[in-house]
Structure 1
Amino acid sequence: MTEDFDRCYRAIRSRDPRFDGWFITAVTSTGIYCRPSCPAMTPKRENVRFYPSAAAAQQAGFRACKRCRPDAAPGSPEWDGRADVVARAMRMIADGVVDRDGVPGLAAQLGYSVRQLQRLLLAEVGAGPIAVARAQRAQTARVLIETTALSMTDVAFASGFASIRQFNDTVRAVFASSPTDLRRRAAARDGTTPAPGAIAVRLPFRRPLCPDNLFGHLAATAVPGVEEVRGATYRRTLRLTHGAGIVELTPAADHVACRLMLADLRDLAAAISRSRWLLDLDADPVAVDEQLATDPALAPIVRAAPGRRVPRCADGPELAVRAVLGQQISTAAARTYAARLVTAIGEPVEDRGGGLTHLFPAPEALREVPVAMPASRRRTLAALLDALAGGRLDLGPGCDREAALDTLGRLPGFGPWTIGTIAMRALGDPDAFVAGDLGVRRAAEALGLPATPGALTARSAAWRPWRAYAVQYLWSTGDHEINRWPATSIQEAA
């Protein structure tokens, strides 16, 4: 998009928030970069440069605007929806791979040389993996500075910086302020003093957002002990690199309030990234809804409650296991099966603020399933676990989507519904479609659409590449608890 200067300039003149995260506006006369919706006076055309990412603007020597805080804008929808190596790399960097394994580790996991990966990211993102990771560290540092009472030394190392000097230099370069000044201004702005313990952040998104199906689905399928709903807040445990975590997510008018309790603060960036992925917050709902509303059958339900997101997952292997457990049974029965596994072999966690008790069992712990289930489902689960353990199947943030789907298709017991569910909710495929799902077929029939899987799949061609979102709109036509938020039938300690 940055190649279309006129379009970008029109966006910043109109201060259109839909473009926040799509590109960055840098102003040569001030040395500042902004999000497109920045309320400041529109700069002259000759003083404007457009960059595809904050990392690229920082690498070019610009610092973040203190007014619009571009580092806190929604992420680009491209990195969630696409399946190419650049998108995979961006998702892995967001999950902390560079901080943990360095650029060589990132390149090796993607199957590229460091030089090839550097060239690809520079061409599309405007910055290499180190610069992208540096921009993420700066944002993580800002969150910790403004929302916790940690010492600056602890903030520096928790954010992934190798030294205090590197931390100070980066914060000054990116935000034109010292870490101490950032904390002082945050206290003056918010009127509070950061407290120890939980970290509270705001997760921005592009409007509109319909929380009904998004949070309603998570609530309806919540596994007791791992997930719960308290009032209008969804809570769950997280398995992170350096320890366990708990996240609380509450939808608001222009953001999702996120409260994190982490065993190790080095996991902050990954926890935020996974929370955003779980809620599909980097989607572009305007583009999705415009496409789907061109179909006369879908147009009324799109207009009735626009901005539906795809409820995803916090962990790919966990979602795959739960999809297998849910084959050909009700939502309630699937929750019961999963809860038994959690109670039997899940790792205990401490939750002082609620009723969460365990992490969902890791794949290696599930090799000997201590829960009774049909023999066919047990074989399917065993095949999935063998593929994950043997490295033949990767469902992580940077996995090769096509390779993962191909592997799933070769496993016994994996039919179109299971594969489609994993593609939609674990792999983030925006075009995944579960034509054989009972709720989808009933909705299609009620809307006058073909109800058989083959005919409906052919009819759905007009909804591409957003068929996963079309599923959410189809599901919304039914009277099911996945469409109710705040949840009315599944509450705390479900």
Structure 2
Amino acid sequence: MQTSMQTRERWDAESCYRAVRSRDRRFDGMFYTAVRTTGIYCRPSCPARTPAFANVTFHPSPAAAQAAGFRACKRCLPDATPGSPDWDIAATAAGRAMRLIADGVVDREGVDGLARRVGYTSRHLSRLLVAELGAGPLALARAKRAQTARVLIETTDLSYADIAFAAGFSSVRQFNETVREVYAGSPTDLRGRRGGRSTTGTVTMRLAVRTPFAGRALLAFLAYHLVPGVEVAGPGWYARTLDLPHGPGTVRLDIDDALEPGETAFVTATFALHDLRDTAAAVERARRLVDADCDPLAVGAHFDDDPVVGPLVTATPGLRVPGQVDGDEVAVRTVIGQQVSVVGACTVAGRMVAAHGRAVDSDIPGLTHLFPDAATLAGVDPETLPMPRARGRALVGLAGALAEGRVALDRGPDRDTVRDALLALPGIGPWTADYVAMRALGHPDVFLPTDLGVRNALRGLGHDPVAVVADTDAWRPWRSYALMHLWNTLMPAVAPAPTTGPNEEN
């Protein structure tokens, strides 16, 4: 076992090998098995014959295996697995950097830009990434580009030149060389191995998620919180506009349940992008939205014997914490929703979108605008906003802090630092800061003890809310999932909209 794997204190070589021998899908994406005799690396669940223990090494990321000279297995496609849930549980600098790398920050801003966002020097960040993930930022970004390129090659009719730039490569030559090195085949070889093409002008991908996956419950949550003009939903699908680094876009997600435990399921995502260079960023944001890297078996096992949450997990296995496609948007919508119903908050947000959002063209009916960006909202007179004056001032103050970079919700900074910065703003209290941490920063261990919906849910389940919320330590590090299970009991269509939090106007 390499030193980078030892730092996790979770696995050793013997336990990794046991997972490989049993072809345990639960470990897909958490480590990778490289075989010296074949020169390839695989998922733990690869169906190929199990290699001898003496012939394998274990790596914490595809980039680490590639840097060690191994090629991706053509049978199990190890680079297509969901990412490690450890990135959000521990939220180390390495994990935060991986989220930004997946969003394309290295391609857009270089290693120095990545290091600035995480709060380290580029040299120190590189040392951290090599120690924890077995590869530096450039190698990690290269592995991500290769994986994006492979999916585009196999699922679209885009030209190889378009794919090269969509995946983040600086030249077609670099694209060809990387594909040959990582996959031991040319782009033409990869395209010939699989059928299925999308219409030119769209990019359709399958986003891998671990099972069980309560897709319908996730869809119900998203549909319940739709902002007119920005989001629409229908039976089995959800769509929204995307404000991406190089221009606008849209995504439609086709979502369903996938409850067979231990398998890999897929959410189909169809993107329409103004600029193909935003492909990687769009895919990462869609993955964040559906909580694709969650380990539902670990979450479920944690609550097996819990008298409050255990029965809820049994009833809805694989429930996800909905993420976000833009952290700033989540924060603004959270302030809009202070002490009003979800329906009321969505109505107000829709009015703000119509007044201040940028109009976009879309083939999906109902998608008409981007959500207003922080810089635009920072210049709005709070007296003109359709909400109480104090909340309007809080919203404009938050937008100003986001636009100026005093608060960053891109998952780069330390979560506690972000929370302190939010609490320092007028009108932002603990409920708002913690909800933003859960949705915008992907924090798996948030609980909202003052939330009225939580208390109503506990009463409806026959529990004493005061006694339960006073001690939730046994639910760590998965309290965000416990929270979602409680809220999920309020989600039937006939149920009244719960309020989204206490009054936090300072």
Task: State the TM-score bracket (shorter-chain normalisation).
Answer: over 0.9
Equivalent position to 1:215, from 207, 215, 219: 219
2:250 pairs with 1:246: yes
Q: Is the 8 A contact 1:205 1:282 kept in 2?
A: yes
Counterpart code for 1:458 = A
Share of identical aligned residues, percent? 55
| Shift in CA distance, 193/439, structure 1 to aligned 2, threshold 3 Å | closer
1:193 to partner: Cα distance: 4.2
Structure 1 residues not aligned, in runs of 5+: 485-494
Which of 404, 407, 415 aligns to 2:418? It is: 404
Change (3 A) 1:111 1:420: closer
Measured in 2, the distance between the counterparts of 1:456 and 1:14 equals 39
Shift of 1:223: 0.4
Match of 2:105 in 1: 97
Q: Distance in 1 between matches of 2:111 and 2:444?
A: 28
CA–CA separation in structure 2 for the residues paired with 1:348 and 1:415? 32
* Structure 1 position 55 matched with structure 2 position 63: yes
CA distance in 1, matches of 2:169, 2:354: 38
3-state secondary structure, aligned to 1:205: strand
Tell me the amino acid that sits aligned with residue 264 of structure 1: D
Measured in 2, the distance between the counterparts of 1:251 and 1:479 equals 17
1:391 corresponds, among 402, 405, 422, to 405
Deviation at 1:479, TM superposition (A): 4.8
Matches within 5 A, 1:268-279: 268-279=279-290
Q: Which residues of 2 match residues 12-411 of structure 1 at below 5 A?
A: 12-186=20-194, 190=195, 192-252=196-256, 253=258, 254-367=265-378, 368-369=380-381, 370-411=384-425
- 1:282 counterpart SS class: coil
Is 1:244–1:262's contact at 8 Å kept on the other side of the alignment? yes
Q: How far did 1:417 drift?
A: 2.1
CA contact (8 A) 1:203 1:276 kept: yes
Letter aligned with residue 429 of structure 2: G
CA contact (8 A) 1:237 1:358 kept: yes
Query: How many Å separate the matches in 1 of 2:113 and 2:375?
Result: 23
- Shifted more, 148-157 versus 421-430: the winner is 148-157
Mean alpha-carbon deviation: is it higher for 1-10 or for 379-388?
1-10
Residue 471 of structure 2 aligns to which amino acid in structure 1? R
Per-residue Cα deviation, 1:255-280 (whole angstroms, up to 9, x for no partner)? 11111111111111111111111111
Q: CA deviation at 1:194?
A: 4.5
Amino acid at match of 1:196: T
Normalising by structure 2, report the TM-score: 0.91
Q: Which moved more, 1:386-395 or 1:45-54?
A: 386-395
Measured on the aligned residues, the alpha-carbon RMSD in Å equals 1.8
* 2:471 maps to which of 456, 459, 471: 459
Check the 8 A contact 1:435/1:456 in 2, yes or no.
Answer: no
Contact 1:319 1:426 in 2 (8 A): yes
Q: Distance in 1 between matches of 2:400 and 2:364?
A: 36
Q: Which residue matches 1:487?
A: none
User: Taking structure 1 as reference, are residues 179 and 420 closer, same or farther at Cα in structure 2, changes over 3 Å only?
Assistant: same
Relative to structure 1, the CA distance from residue 482 to residue 464 in structure 2 (aligned partners, 3 Å threshold; closer, same or farther) is farther
Within a 5 Å distance, the mapping from 1:403-422 to structure 2 comes to 403-422=417-436
1:491 maps to what in 2? none
Aligned partner of 2:501 in structure 1 is none
- Between the aligned partners of 1:344 and 1:29, the Cα distance in structure 2 is 63
Q: Which runs of 5+ in 2 are unaligned?
A: 7-11, 259-264, 497-506
Q: Which has the higher contact order (CA 8 A, sep 6+)?
A: 1
- CA change 1:5–1:220 in 2 (3 A) is same
**Offset of residue 246 of structure 1:** 0.5
Distance 2:42 2:120 in 1: 33
CA 1:226/1:244 → structure 2, altered by over 3 Å: closer, same or farther? same
TM-score normalized by the length of structure 1: 0.93
Q: Distance in 1 between matches of 2:403 and 2:279?
A: 27
Q: 1:372 to 1:194 in 2, by over 3 A?
A: closer
SS of the equivalent of 1:348 reads coil
Alpha-carbon shift at residue 85 of structure 1 (Å): 1.2
Q: Which amino acid aligns with 2:473?
A: A
Displacement, 1:317? 0.7
Contact persistence 2:216–2:236 (CA under 8 A): no
Distance, in Å, in 1 between the alignment partners of 2:152 and 2:344 is 41
